[in-house]
Amino acid sequence: MKGQINKNTSRIRRYMKLRKNIQLRSLFRLIIHRSSKHIYAQIISNKNAQVIAHASTLEKKYFDKKKLYTGNKTSAGLVGELIAQRALQKGITNVSFDRSGFKYHGRIQSLAESARSFGLIF
């Protein structure tokens, strides 16, 4: 059991490799985290590790009205749209995409494509 690799340790390995490269590249990082029911996005400054903008499926203002299930691609696309709009309001267009070791597939891909279509560059 000691030498086995599970999903979580594989994700952490990918995350550490990505984080090294991202810290050298940009001033701002778009960090994504997902759980089985929700997805979260934050834009963080690399200089002082301050959160500039955030969006998630926990925001009742957007997700209770539409009665959306929060753990699917549709809601991830809406979070991508929200984070892109909030970043553009703050004057941020270029970010590094930090997917926290999650594979670029499904909800992560949907969020990224939605953010790109609304004006973020990464």
The pLDDT score that the predictor gives to residue 1 is 46
pLDDT attached to residue 6: 81
Q: What is the pLDDT of residues 28-68, one digit of tens each?
A: 999 999 999 999 999 999 888 899 999 999 988 877 766 77
Of the chain, the percentage scoring pLDDT greater than 70 comes to: 93
Q: In what order do the strands lie in the sheet with 51-56?
A: 51-56, 39-45, 28-34, 96-98
Tell me which of 2-11, 28-37, 76-85, 106-115 is least confident: 2-11
> Domain spans of the chain?
7-117
CATH architecture of 7-117: 2-Layer Sandwich (3.30)
Q: What percent of the chain has pLDDT over 90?
A: 53
**Mean pLDDT of the residues in the chain:** 87
